[in-house]
Amino acid sequence: MSDAVVFESVSKSFGPRSVLKDVSFTVAAGTAFVLLGRSGTGKSVTLKLIDGLLKADSGEITVDGTKITALNSAALAPTRKKMGFLFQSAALFDSISVGENVAFPLRRNTQKKDSEIRDIVKGILEKVGLGKEFDSMPSEMSGGMRKRAGLARALAMEPSILLVDEPSAGLDPITSTEIDELLIAIKTDHHATLIIVTHNMPSARRLADQMGFLDDGKLLAHGTVQEMEQSEHQLVRDFMKSKQGG
Ligand SMILES: Nc1ncnc2c1ncn2[C@@H]1O[C@H](COP(=O)(O)OP(=O)(O)OP(=O)(O)O)[C@@H](O)[C@H]1O
Ligand SMILES: [Mg+2]
Protein backbone atom coordinates (compact mmCIF):
# COMPACT_ATOMS: atom_id res chain seq x y z
CA MET A 1 0.00 0.00 0.00
CA SER A 2 1.33 3.46 -0.82
CA ASP A 3 1.50 6.32 1.64
CA ALA A 4 -0.81 9.30 1.22
CA VAL A 5 0.86 11.52 3.81
CA VAL A 6 4.23 11.22 5.54
CA PHE A 7 5.57 13.52 8.27
CA GLU A 8 9.28 13.14 8.99
CA SER A 9 10.57 15.06 12.02
CA VAL A 10 8.30 18.02 11.31
CA SER A 11 8.61 21.06 13.56
CA LYS A 12 6.55 24.24 13.53
CA SER A 13 6.74 27.31 15.74
CA PHE A 14 4.93 30.63 15.78
CA GLY A 15 7.41 33.13 17.15
CA PRO A 16 8.61 31.75 20.48
CA ARG A 17 5.73 29.27 20.64
CA SER A 18 6.79 25.80 19.56
CA VAL A 19 3.66 23.93 18.42
CA LEU A 20 5.04 20.77 16.76
CA LYS A 21 8.40 19.30 17.77
CA ASP A 22 9.88 16.57 15.62
CA VAL A 23 6.54 14.97 14.70
CA SER A 24 6.63 11.86 12.50
CA PHE A 25 3.75 9.71 11.26
CA THR A 26 2.53 7.98 8.12
CA VAL A 27 -1.00 7.67 6.74
CA ALA A 28 -1.51 4.82 4.28
CA ALA A 29 -3.52 5.63 1.16
CA GLY A 30 -7.20 4.74 1.45
CA THR A 31 -7.25 4.70 5.24
CA ALA A 32 -8.66 7.03 7.88
CA PHE A 33 -6.28 8.63 10.37
CA VAL A 34 -7.87 10.39 13.35
CA LEU A 35 -5.82 13.01 15.13
CA LEU A 36 -6.64 13.52 18.80
CA GLY A 37 -5.33 15.83 21.48
CA ARG A 38 -6.32 18.59 23.85
CA SER A 39 -7.21 22.04 22.62
CA GLY A 40 -4.28 24.03 21.25
CA THR A 41 -1.95 21.07 20.70
CA GLY A 42 -1.52 21.72 16.97
CA LYS A 43 -4.13 19.50 15.33
CA SER A 44 -5.49 22.20 13.01
CA VAL A 45 -1.92 23.35 12.34
CA THR A 46 -1.06 19.78 11.27
CA LEU A 47 -3.91 19.78 8.72
CA LYS A 48 -2.85 23.19 7.41
CA LEU A 49 0.75 21.95 7.01
CA ILE A 50 -0.50 19.00 4.95
CA ASP A 51 -2.57 21.32 2.76
CA GLY A 52 0.35 23.71 2.33
CA LEU A 53 -1.52 26.61 3.98
CA LEU A 54 1.31 26.70 6.52
CA LYS A 55 4.99 25.87 6.00
CA ALA A 56 6.99 23.60 8.29
CA ASP A 57 10.12 25.13 9.86
CA SER A 58 12.04 21.87 9.51
CA GLY A 59 11.47 18.25 8.60
CA GLU A 60 9.80 16.86 5.50
CA ILE A 61 6.13 16.45 4.55
CA THR A 62 5.32 14.15 1.63
CA VAL A 63 1.84 14.15 0.09
CA ASP A 64 0.97 11.46 -2.43
CA GLY A 65 4.67 10.96 -3.22
CA THR A 66 5.52 14.67 -3.57
CA LYS A 67 7.80 16.35 -1.04
CA ILE A 68 5.95 19.60 -0.41
CA THR A 69 8.03 21.27 2.27
CA ALA A 70 10.28 23.28 -0.04
CA LEU A 71 7.72 23.98 -2.78
CA ASN A 72 6.46 27.46 -3.58
CA SER A 73 2.73 27.96 -4.10
CA ALA A 74 2.87 27.46 -7.90
CA ALA A 75 4.76 24.18 -7.55
CA LEU A 76 2.40 23.12 -4.80
CA ALA A 77 -0.78 23.71 -6.82
CA PRO A 78 -1.09 20.26 -8.47
CA THR A 79 -0.72 18.54 -5.09
CA ARG A 80 -3.20 20.90 -3.42
CA LYS A 81 -5.78 20.01 -6.08
CA LYS A 82 -5.70 16.40 -4.86
CA MET A 83 -6.82 17.52 -1.40
CA GLY A 84 -10.15 18.68 -0.05
CA PHE A 85 -10.37 20.58 3.22
CA LEU A 86 -13.42 20.80 5.46
CA PHE A 87 -12.48 23.57 7.86
CA GLN A 88 -13.35 23.67 11.54
CA SER A 89 -15.82 26.51 10.81
CA ALA A 90 -17.07 25.15 7.42
CA ALA A 91 -15.83 28.49 5.99
CA LEU A 92 -18.56 29.01 3.40
CA PHE A 93 -18.88 32.22 1.39
CA ASP A 94 -22.03 33.74 2.86
CA SER A 95 -22.80 36.06 -0.05
CA ILE A 96 -23.25 33.29 -2.66
CA SER A 97 -25.60 30.31 -2.81
CA VAL A 98 -24.72 26.83 -1.56
CA GLY A 99 -24.49 25.64 -5.18
CA GLU A 100 -22.06 28.42 -6.07
CA ASN A 101 -19.99 27.62 -2.98
CA VAL A 102 -19.58 24.05 -4.18
CA ALA A 103 -18.97 25.22 -7.76
CA PHE A 104 -16.24 27.61 -6.65
CA PRO A 105 -13.25 25.20 -6.78
CA LEU A 106 -14.47 23.83 -10.12
CA ARG A 107 -14.69 27.31 -11.63
CA ARG A 108 -11.28 28.23 -10.29
CA ASN A 109 -9.39 25.02 -11.09
CA THR A 110 -11.00 23.53 -14.18
CA GLN A 111 -12.07 24.55 -17.68
CA LYS A 112 -15.42 22.80 -17.33
CA LYS A 113 -18.49 24.40 -18.90
CA ASP A 114 -21.20 25.98 -16.79
CA SER A 115 -23.75 23.26 -17.49
CA GLU A 116 -21.26 20.53 -16.61
CA ILE A 117 -20.34 22.28 -13.36
CA ARG A 118 -24.04 22.57 -12.47
CA ASP A 119 -24.53 18.84 -13.00
CA ILE A 120 -21.47 17.94 -10.92
CA VAL A 121 -22.56 20.26 -8.11
CA LYS A 122 -26.10 18.85 -8.14
CA GLY A 123 -24.70 15.33 -7.89
CA ILE A 124 -22.48 16.20 -4.92
CA LEU A 125 -25.25 18.10 -3.10
CA GLU A 126 -27.49 15.06 -3.60
CA LYS A 127 -24.81 12.84 -2.11
CA VAL A 128 -24.47 14.92 1.06
CA GLY A 129 -28.25 15.21 1.50
CA LEU A 130 -28.60 18.79 0.23
CA GLY A 131 -30.20 17.96 -3.12
CA LYS A 132 -32.82 20.69 -2.74
CA GLU A 133 -30.49 23.40 -1.47
CA PHE A 134 -28.66 24.51 -4.62
CA ASP A 135 -30.08 28.03 -4.41
CA SER A 136 -30.18 28.34 -0.61
CA MET A 137 -27.96 30.89 1.05
CA PRO A 138 -25.53 29.54 3.67
CA SER A 139 -26.77 32.07 6.25
CA GLU A 140 -30.24 30.46 6.12
CA MET A 141 -28.94 27.00 6.94
CA SER A 142 -28.46 25.10 10.20
CA GLY A 143 -25.03 24.13 11.51
CA GLY A 144 -25.44 20.56 10.26
CA MET A 145 -26.43 21.76 6.79
CA ARG A 146 -23.47 24.14 6.68
CA LYS A 147 -21.18 21.22 7.55
CA ARG A 148 -22.67 19.19 4.72
CA ALA A 149 -22.24 22.13 2.35
CA GLY A 150 -18.61 22.51 3.43
CA LEU A 151 -18.12 18.81 2.86
CA ALA A 152 -19.72 19.11 -0.59
CA ARG A 153 -17.32 21.90 -1.49
CA ALA A 154 -14.35 19.88 -0.21
CA LEU A 155 -15.48 17.01 -2.46
CA ALA A 156 -15.97 19.09 -5.60
CA MET A 157 -12.54 18.32 -7.05
CA GLU A 158 -12.82 14.59 -6.20
CA PRO A 159 -9.93 14.74 -3.75
CA SER A 160 -7.90 11.63 -3.08
CA ILE A 161 -7.07 13.07 0.35
CA LEU A 162 -9.75 14.68 2.49
CA LEU A 163 -8.71 16.80 5.47
CA VAL A 164 -11.51 17.25 7.98
CA ASP A 165 -11.31 19.51 11.02
CA GLU A 166 -13.87 18.76 13.74
CA PRO A 167 -16.73 17.30 11.67
CA SER A 168 -19.02 16.96 14.71
CA ALA A 169 -18.39 20.29 16.41
CA GLY A 170 -21.73 21.86 17.26
CA LEU A 171 -23.80 19.01 15.84
CA ASP A 172 -26.29 16.74 17.59
CA PRO A 173 -25.27 13.06 17.87
CA ILE A 174 -27.56 11.90 15.05
CA THR A 175 -26.38 14.52 12.57
CA SER A 176 -22.83 13.83 13.61
CA THR A 177 -23.31 10.11 12.94
CA GLU A 178 -24.73 10.93 9.50
CA ILE A 179 -21.69 13.05 8.64
CA ASP A 180 -19.43 10.20 9.80
CA GLU A 181 -21.33 7.79 7.54
CA LEU A 182 -20.78 10.14 4.61
CA LEU A 183 -17.06 10.26 5.38
CA ILE A 184 -16.86 6.48 5.60
CA ALA A 185 -18.69 6.20 2.26
CA ILE A 186 -16.20 8.59 0.67
CA LYS A 187 -13.35 6.45 1.92
CA THR A 188 -14.94 3.18 0.79
CA ASP A 189 -16.44 4.28 -2.53
CA HIS A 190 -13.65 6.58 -3.72
CA HIS A 191 -10.70 4.97 -1.93
CA ALA A 192 -9.97 8.39 -0.48
CA THR A 193 -7.61 8.93 2.42
CA LEU A 194 -9.20 10.71 5.38
CA ILE A 195 -7.31 12.75 7.95
CA ILE A 196 -9.74 13.82 10.62
CA VAL A 197 -9.35 15.95 13.71
CA THR A 198 -12.00 15.40 16.35
CA HIS A 199 -12.72 15.70 20.05
CA ASN A 200 -15.71 13.44 19.70
CA MET A 201 -14.63 9.96 20.82
CA PRO A 202 -17.66 8.01 19.57
CA SER A 203 -17.04 9.61 16.17
CA ALA A 204 -13.29 8.95 16.34
CA ARG A 205 -13.95 5.28 17.07
CA ARG A 206 -16.35 4.98 14.13
CA LEU A 207 -13.96 6.58 11.69
CA ALA A 208 -10.43 5.60 12.59
CA ASP A 209 -8.26 2.91 11.06
CA GLN A 210 -5.36 4.51 12.91
CA MET A 211 -5.20 7.25 15.52
CA GLY A 212 -2.54 9.69 16.61
CA PHE A 213 -2.46 11.65 19.85
CA LEU A 214 -0.72 15.04 19.97
CA ASP A 215 0.48 16.41 23.28
CA ASP A 216 2.99 19.11 24.11
CA GLY A 217 4.24 19.29 20.52
CA LYS A 218 4.86 15.55 20.28
CA LEU A 219 2.95 12.64 18.82
CA LEU A 220 2.58 10.97 22.21
CA ALA A 221 0.93 7.80 20.87
CA HIS A 222 -0.36 6.30 17.65
CA GLY A 223 -2.00 3.06 16.63
CA THR A 224 -5.35 1.34 16.25
CA VAL A 225 -8.27 2.04 18.57
CA GLN A 226 -7.36 -1.04 20.57
CA GLU A 227 -3.69 -0.06 20.81
CA MET A 228 -4.66 3.43 21.98
CA GLU A 229 -6.94 1.98 24.65
CA GLN A 230 -3.94 0.07 25.98
CA SER A 231 -1.50 2.97 25.66
CA GLU A 232 1.23 3.24 28.27
CA HIS A 233 0.15 6.89 28.70
CA GLN A 234 -2.60 7.58 31.21
CA LEU A 235 -3.68 10.72 29.31
CA VAL A 236 -4.30 8.70 26.14
CA ARG A 237 -6.20 5.97 28.01
CA ASP A 238 -8.35 8.60 29.76
CA PHE A 239 -9.06 10.32 26.44
CA MET A 240 -10.11 7.01 24.90
CA LYS A 241 -12.54 6.36 27.79
CA SER A 242 -14.36 9.64 27.24
CA LYS A 243 -17.94 9.19 26.10
CA GLN A 244 -18.44 12.81 25.30
CA GLY A 245 -19.37 14.04 21.86
CA GLY A 246 -19.02 17.53 20.36
N1 LIG B 1 -1.39 31.31 12.14
C2 LIG B 1 -1.01 31.24 13.42
N3 LIG B 1 -0.24 32.20 13.97
C4 LIG B 1 0.18 32.13 15.26
N5 LIG B 1 -0.13 31.10 16.09
C6 LIG B 1 -0.90 30.14 15.61
C7 LIG B 1 -1.38 30.14 14.26
N8 LIG B 1 -2.12 29.02 14.06
C9 LIG B 1 -2.10 28.36 15.23
N10 LIG B 1 -1.37 29.01 16.16
C11 LIG B 1 -1.11 28.56 17.53
O12 LIG B 1 -0.71 27.20 17.47
C13 LIG B 1 -1.25 26.45 18.56
C14 LIG B 1 -1.98 25.24 18.02
O15 LIG B 1 -3.14 25.68 17.32
P16 LIG B 1 -4.15 24.69 16.63
O17 LIG B 1 -5.19 25.55 16.01
O18 LIG B 1 -3.44 23.75 15.74
O19 LIG B 1 -4.74 23.90 17.87
P20 LIG B 1 -5.79 22.70 17.87
O21 LIG B 1 -5.10 21.48 18.39
O22 LIG B 1 -6.43 22.60 16.54
O23 LIG B 1 -6.83 23.20 18.97
P24 LIG B 1 -8.45 23.08 19.02
O25 LIG B 1 -8.72 21.68 19.49
O26 LIG B 1 -8.84 24.10 20.05
O27 LIG B 1 -8.99 23.38 17.66
C28 LIG B 1 -2.11 27.42 19.34
O29 LIG B 1 -1.37 27.89 20.42
C30 LIG B 1 -2.37 28.54 18.37
O31 LIG B 1 -2.55 29.76 19.04
MG1 LIG C 1 -8.33 23.02 15.83
Is the predicted pLDDT of residue 90 greater than 80, yes or no? no
What pLDDT is attached to residue 117?
96
Kind and range of the H or E run holding 108: helix 98-109
Q: What is the pLDDT of residue 1?
A: 67
Q: Pick the atom of ligand 1 nearest to 42's CA.
A: 18
How far apart are alpha carbons 85 and 180 in whole angstroms?
A: 15
Higher pLDDT, 66 or 173: 66
The pLDDT assigned to 102 comes to 96
How far does the centroid of ligand 1 lie from the alpha carbon of residue 165, in Å? Answer: 12
Mutate to test the pocket of ligand 1, among 10, 21, 43 (most ligand atoms within 8 A of CB): 43
Q: CB atoms < 10 A from the CB of 59, how many? A: 18
Spatial distance between the Cα atoms of 215 and 204, rounded to a whole number of angstroms? 17
Distance 169 CA to ligand 1 centre (A): 16
* Predicted confidence (pLDDT) per residue in 181-203, tens digit: 999 999 998 899 999 999 899 99
Nearest in space to 36 (alpha carbons), one of 237, 212, 235: 212
Nearest ligand 1 atom to the CA of 46 is: 18
